[in-house]
Structure 1
């Protein structure tokens, strides 16, 4: 049996001015001969992850789906880490297959001492081949930790241990070359877009002290949705509450927390600009979803006929 590898560039493939191919990445990789699966490599366009679009990512996910339909045990996608958490979550939302779809990359390129790419890639390939990783959706594998795409975050700008799941922790680990899954969250139904995502514009607005809301003026005329990253458990300055309430009558507005961990609450605070006030004004509860993932989900839902509030309820 095979495992499919799709390479999209990023730090893992940066060797000075030379960009490594999938064959370069796997040649002479320690432990690869013990994988027990042939690696089928497809080198995709080398794109810095800052330039990666949803449309391009979905093309690669579709190719991965064809590979598993043709018999691959699973698939691995390598890309830059800047947007890896968003790519993995988008892939998880549309991936309907039991076979694992694993994302990985590197924080230290091959020209530096101690590059982490080879170990991350080998661990990702092991997870993609493992029956234990089936029915977990899209995963992120870094430093031999297995994270659910739904919860994983890039939490440090330079550390090789940057990927963490603050609200849940890793699902498992690769230990002595063995994939050991410790917990199995319930999978949610995949979502299939019925419109071109390029035509869907969703803004992300982070609330700050003394916020005057000027950046929100006219937003409903240019965007189909908005995600608000509020203070703490979902608060904004009182002056913003009617502005956001007005927007919520015109476009879907999702309330999230800018903190990086924890959930928006529903009924703890009651002052103007509190979570209770904002939800009463029609904002949608983003629950445990961070602002970046909420934006991915809202954009995808706007491209379907799905009930937005109903689907978000499953992620809170």
Structure 2
């Protein structure tokens, strides 16, 4: 049984710090060398995909990573795949794979909040958690997973909630799919919804999907800046409400056939459909023919990038 560890960089691979800060330098072999318990779980094989901070990850890199994991799924010797990744945009890359991978081999993302040069780095225990989840027979059929702090989350639901704390990855409303009890995974629930699997032409993928968070008395210039965008995603206040200053600019984008995808800026909950009727309420979003997203803004944008690239926004979002 082979467990493939695909390393991409991030804090878990960072070292140095001669006064100028740490940077990703460690290879996949470095990451697994000091975790002898992995040998009791599977035969570990490593693959160095990249060694960069996660904010340097592009849409093109996400697609390349998805293709790499697809090839590993086709290898009958590979029972599970771990992707080590920087935490800043880990949830976006994991969700990108959730929408584009579609294989049977379990894929688990992990990383670290404390780099290996610090006391009590969390990378080793996160790798162990990922390994136990990846080779567990019940991991199949749960989509791409994210494992941190001895919890296992679905890529669709999980988000980074704290900038520095090791207990940063949470699924705010639904909670984790599973937890580690001693050396085994206890699965707490199944994922309620399955993500569609998209197969875009790489040439059709673009980062020209804009994303903005709606704020009080928002300057309409922030909306007009999306005049040449492939789509605009915006996180509305509350249950789907926007200030009057941006209503007309949004109608201008609608008239120019730029897709509009709305979500809420709240960490929990979804957009209302028929509670309020004032100008700038969810009624206005419906007049704008907005797609309604149940995801946070960063994942909404990832889904929109793929939806635009495959002409399938309607399969990813509702249009009430």
Partner of 1:29: 35
CA gap 1:114/1:149 in 2 versus in 1, 3 angstroms? same
Residues 1-316 of structure 1: matches in 2 within 5 Å? 1-16=1-16, 19-35=25-41, 37-71=42-76, 72-185=78-191, 186-196=193-203, 198-220=205-227, 222-249=228-255, 250-286=257-293, 288-306=294-312, 308-313=313-318
Q: How many residues align?
A: 311
CA positional deviation for 1:30: 4.2
**Residues 161-214 of structure 1, C-alpha deviations (whole Å, 9 max, x = no match):** 000011211011121111221111242330111242553510001111111211
Q: Deviations over 1:199-251 (max 9, x none)?
A: 3510001111111211222522x211000111111110123222212312321
Query: In 1, distance between residues paired with 2:43 and 2:36?
Result: 15
C-alpha distance in 2, partners of 1:19/1:310?
40
For the residues of structure 1 that align with 2:196 and 2:211, how far apart are their CA atoms? Answer: 25
Measure the CA separation in 2 of the matches of 1:40 and 1:232.
Answer: 46
**Residue 123 of structure 1: CA displacement?**
0.8
Distance of aligned partners of 1:58 and 1:310 in 2 relative to their CA distance in 1, 3 Å threshold: closer
> Does the 8 A contact of 1:54 with 1:197 survive in 2?
no
Q: Is the 8 A contact 1:200 1:302 kept in 2?
A: no
| C-alpha separation in 2, matches of 1:157 and 1:111 | 19
> How high is the TM-score relative to the length of structure 1?
0.94
Q: Secondary structure at the match of 2:300?
A: helix
Q: TM-score, normalised by structure 2?
A: 0.93
1:52–1:197 CA distance, 2 compared to 1 (3 A):
farther
Given that 1:55 and 1:197 are in contact with CA atoms closer than 8 Å, whether structure 2 keeps it comes out as: no
SS across alignment from 1:260: coil
Task: Single out whichever of 191-200 and 174-183 deviates more from structure 2.
Answer: 191-200
Structure 1 portions without partners, runs of 5+: none
Counterpart Cα distance in 2 of 1:28 and 1:207: 46
* Distance in 2 separating the partners of 1:99 and 1:180: 19
Gaps of 5+ in 2: 18-23
Indicate the RMSD between aligned Cα atoms, in angstroms. 1.7
SS of the residue aligned with 2:9?
coil
Measured after TM superposition, the shift of residue 16 of structure 1 is 1.2
Sort the Cα spacing of 1:197 and 1:164 in 2 relative to 1 into closer, same or farther, 3 A.
farther
The DSSP-based 3-state class of the residue aligned with 1:239 is helix
